């Protein structure tokens, strides 16, 4: 499957300086109506965080999402766009955006407007005494069936991963760039980011974040559609953990410190 990646002005820093502090990565698929609204909300984050950039990753959308991203990038220097010709899934889009990011701090967020960008500065500030900050949806605006399914899934997931995270389904996370190599190029890794971080000995903190009802578009997953993929991803993490050589990782860290 052939992939094309497009960057807006990739040779220059969009903030006009050599320092890039925070990169926000937002994978999107058929979210054309959400791009302009989200961009307006991100203006306040840009003002609050010097050296802030946003990387929209269009995962092969079939609507006008990419055109909206291009228009937004032309109007706002802190926004860049990455595009794939084919839909490759959220994990691929997330990792592609993370690797294209220039910041020392990386933040992930969904593009469906259910996450609130106003929470980003607080997540970043909490990194002062840890490596990873995970948001959890304190007051979810989902249907009762999705909330129940999420609680059941979190219980099952925690029994296997033992990462202690209460809401791994919340995409709003912040972590130091040095943690990026902890995430393997495995399909579904975005669902178990805290588990991979914990496996590599990272210090993790959780804080409550806002959660909003979807305004535009439709959810890409239903409970039944998500279940087989989640089970497969869980088995993938278990396989990875069983084969992870923690002792060699510790020796490597000592050599590079």
Tell me what pLDDT residue 13 has. 41
What is the CB neighbour count within 10 angstroms for residue 73? 20
Tell me what pLDDT residue 50 has. 85
Look at residue 227 and tell me if it is in a domain: yes
Tell me what pLDDT residue 207 has. 96
Tell me what pLDDT residue 137 has. 87
Query: Which of 16, 12, 99, 26 is closest to 50 using CA atoms?
Result: 16
Tell me what pLDDT residue 166 has. 82
Look at residue 9 and tell me if it is in a domain: no
Tell me what pLDDT residue 14 has. 40
* Residue 89 lies in domain: 22-256
What is the torsion angle, in degrees rounded to the nearest 10, for the CA atoms of residue 87, residue 89, residue 95 and residue 98? Answer: 70
Tell me what pLDDT residue 1 has. 42
Look at residue 16 and tell me if it is in a domain: no
Look at residue 193 and tell me if it is in a domain: yes
**14 φ/ψ angles, rounded to the nearest 5 degrees:** -65, -15
Tell me what pLDDT residue 142 has. 59
Tell me what pLDDT residue 222 has. 47
CATH number of the domain within which 105 lies: 3.90.550.10
Tell me what pLDDT residue 133 has. 97
Dist CA 149 CA 62 (whole Å): 29
Look at residue 73 and tell me if it is in a domain: yes
Look at residue 220 and tell me if it is in a domain: yes
Number of domains in the chain: 1
Locate 183 and state its tokens.
């995430």
Contact, 82 vs 6, CB < 8 A? yes
Tell me what pLDDT residue 17 has. 44
Look at residue 169 and tell me if it is in a domain: yes
Please give the angle made by the CA atoms of 97, 201 and 168, to the nearest 5 degrees.
55
Tell me what pLDDT residue 124 has. 97
Look at residue 15 and tell me if it is in a domain: no
* Tens-digit pLDDT string for the chain (257 aa): 445 555 444 444 444 444 559 999 999 999 999 999 999 999 999 999 989 999 999 999 999 999 999 999 999 999 999 999 899 999 999 999 999 999 999 999 999 999 999 999 999 999 999 999 999 988 765 556 566 666 666 666 666 666 778 888 889 999 999 999 999 988 888 888 999 999 999 999 999 999 887 665 555 554 456 667 777 878 888 888 888 876 555 555 554 55
Number of residues in the chain: 257
Locate 96 and state its tokens.
């592609």
């Amino acid at each position: 499957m052939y992939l094309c990646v497009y960057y807006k002005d990739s040779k220059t820093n969009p903030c006009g300086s050599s320092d890039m502090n925070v990169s926000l990565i937002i994978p999107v698929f058929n979210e054309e109506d959400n791009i302009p609204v989200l961009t307006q909300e991100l203006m306040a984050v840009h003002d609050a965080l010097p050296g802030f950039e946003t990387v929209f990753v269009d995962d092969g959308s079939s609507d006008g999402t990419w055109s909206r991203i291009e228009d937004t990038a032309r109007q706002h220097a802190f926004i860049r766009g990455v595009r794939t010709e084919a839909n490759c899934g959220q994990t691929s889009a997330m990792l592609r955006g993370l690797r294209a990011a220039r910041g020392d701090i990386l933040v992930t967020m969904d593009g469906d407007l259910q996450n609130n960008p106003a929470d980003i500065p607080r997540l970043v500030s909490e990194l002062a005494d840890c490596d990873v900050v995970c948001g959890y949806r304190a007051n979810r605006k989902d249907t009762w069936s999705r909330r129940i399914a999420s609680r059941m899934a979190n219980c099952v997931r925690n029994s296997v991963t033992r990462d202690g995270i209460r809401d791994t389904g919340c995409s709003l996370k912040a972590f130091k760039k040095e943690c990026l190599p902890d995430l393997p190029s495995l399909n579904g890794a975005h669902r178990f980011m805290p588990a991979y971080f914990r496996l590599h000995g990272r210090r993790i903190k959780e804080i409550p974040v806002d959660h909003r009802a979807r305004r535009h578009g439709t959810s890409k997953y239903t409970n039944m559609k998500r279940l087989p993929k989640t089970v497969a991803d869980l088995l993938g993490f278990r396989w990875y953990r069983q084969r992870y050589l923690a002792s060699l990782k510790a020796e490597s860290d000592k050599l590079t410190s």
